[in-house]
Amino acid sequence: MARKAGRIMTRKAPEIIEVTSQQFDDILERAASNTLRDEDTELMRSIFESYAGFFQIVGNKNTTIARLRKMMFGATSETSKNVLGDAEDASNPPASDTSDNTPADSDSDQDKDSSESPPGHGRHGADDYPGADQVEVKHPEHAVGDVCPDCGQGTLYEKSPSVLVRFIGQAPLHATVYRMQKLRCHLCGKLFTAPVPAGIGDEKYDHTVASMIGLLKYGSGLPFNRLQRLQGNCKIPLAASTQWDIVHGAAPLITPAYEELIRQAGQGDVIYNDDTTVKILELMGERAKKTPPPDDEHDPKRTGLFTSGVVATLAGARIALFFSGRQHAGENLSDVLKHRDAELEAPIQMCDGLARNLPKELETILANCLAHGRRNFVELYDRFPDECGHVIKAFKVIFRNDKVAREEAMSAEARLAYHQAHSAQTMDDLQVWLQRQFDDKLVEPNSALGEAITYLLKRWEPFSLFLRKAGAPLDNNTCERALKKAILHRKNSMFYKTRNGARVGDMYMSLIYTCELNGANAFDYLNQLQLNAADATKNPERWMPWNYRESVSATSDAA
């Protein structure tokens, strides 16, 4: 995240104010005639504050042109092609070249080549819509085995069907109004009411409502009030407060699966973790003073608030967990690892170089993110093109070798042997080159370039773990992508009101993103957890995103 690029990134970026020359001339005229309006005064104050903030940022020794551009205009891609102008990288960028402000799994139209699909065809085939209603349409006049009506001699047989996909638009949450007829006897006054249709139930809100609201809110970042407006535009109103009541009411039904995810994540082979900021009003400012944290929470003097992302890989499955509150990523990881079976060896932990990402009193095999180490040199490339270019090109070899291992679907052991054969020499040469910059006094240790080199050398062992340990990843992009969920929610909904609201959000977000990581239907999964809450509470291990359909089938067969 931007905050990790250096101390300067923690400063608030100057506000960009759009002012035309005509507007400024008008203000000056009013100033000359003493007819300034209140908005003129505010505009001038904002201009001067932005001007002062800009020069404060520029005056910091760690501010580079690239970093200033990133703060003011957003991050751009960090591929070697964009940094070095290397045309060779155009079709083969490094695996970890993902900026913090650009989603690593971006699905924008600009990223798609329209030539991939033949003219007249969509991006997806019919088999890509397993969640759609499937309707089999029989031929109205002919059937398998009939005599051909054309030649009169051949026999008709089955072929692959012709496929038509039709979309319809409707409100995210649909409603049906049942008006049961009432009849009254005009003589005795007895009332006769039509019965509710079979299968409707007594609840006003179906279980699917909680699933859809949770998916929209915590999976897609759609705030309650925005969904309220959308439903209102469709003339099916649903208040924001009611939406919260619905998802909160369903939370106990999905809690057992969430707790089982935490337990299974503790058994993971590789665990990624990181932090991003969050706002929880109950823990901020005057509200926090009125509602102090319970005794079992950590130091109440803490002011920082974080959403930690923890992603664990286990037996081919991937588990994503989110924890929002005062604890750092390392503390939340410690809580997860407390569930780890004692006979298991320590897991590989991938994170960046911040000490707060490390779990206290629990052992892990530490690997640090090469993408973070590389990023420091990308940001300094404008000032030190030769030195930074040397480091970036070395990393390019490493990431390209890792891409080859992925494309060939190598096992963890085969990948380790491949890196030892093709990446070890590059890493050894890079380490020697980095150390020589200090030994030969070619670089001042306290300079921006010196700090970037120190960051690598100080953490060389965890940076190079992939050369010694099978399965050790190169970067923390897996967790960075997971945290995009929390960042999307933060950008749209701004904050959680209470700790309980944050807990519910973490739960839905964890279940939804774990479904995405394992190719499961998150909407169906949330539905099934509610429908089978009793069994999910008793046997939560049977109701994980990667195996719950087997349990659904078994339940249906038993019925």
pLDDT of the chain, 559 residues: tens digit per residue: 444 444 444 455 556 666 676 777 777 777 767 777 777 777 777 776 777 667 667 766 666 666 666 666 555 667 777 667 654 443 344 444 433 443 344 444 444 444 445 555 567 777 888 888 888 899 888 888 998 888 888 898 888 888 888 888 888 999 999 899 999 998 888 999 999 888 888 889 999 999 999 999 999 999 999 999 999 999 999 999 999 999 999 999 999 999 999 999 999 999 999 999 999 999 887 666 666 655 445 555 678 899 999 999 998 899 999 999 999 999 999 999 999 999 999 999 999 888 888 888 788 999 999 999 999 999 888 888 899 999 999 999 999 999 999 999 999 999 999 999 999 999 999 999 999 999 999 999 999 999 999 999 999 999 999 999 999 999 999 999 999 999 999 999 989 999 999 999 999 999 999 999 999 999 999 999 999 999 999 999 999 999 999 999 988 777 6
* Residues 297, 282 contacting (CB under 8 angstroms): no
- What span, in angstroms and rounded, lies between the C-alpha atoms of 99 and 102? 5
- What span, in angstroms and rounded, lies between the C-alpha atoms of 485 and 482? 6
Report the DSSP pairing between strands 365-368 and 348-351.
parallel
Q: How many domains does the chain have?
A: 3
* Residue-range definition of the domain harbouring residue 223: 207-248
* Residues 247, 213 contacting (CB under 8 angstroms): yes
Is residue 200 assigned to a domain?
Answer: no
Domain end point (choices 74, 102, 119): 74
Domain end point (choices 54, 74, 94): 74
Instruction: Give how far Cα 324 sits from Cα of 212, 217, 328, 510, Å.
Output: 22, 16, 9, 12
* Residues 276, 310 contacting (CB under 8 angstroms): no
Structure tokens at 294: 């319970």
Same domain, yes or no, for 297 and 238? no
Same domain, yes or no, for 215 and 266? no
34: left (phi over 0), alpha (psi -120 to 50) or beta: left
Is residue 172 assigned to a domain?
Answer: no
Same domain, yes or no, for 236 and 323? no
* Residues 94, 400 contacting (CB under 8 angstroms): yes
Is residue 506 assigned to a domain?
Answer: no
Give a three-class secondary structure readout of 403-469: HHHHHCCCCHHHHHHHHHHHCHHHHHHHHHHHHHHHHCCCCCCCCHHHHHHHHHHHCHHHHCHHHCC
Same domain, yes or no, for 56 and 29? yes
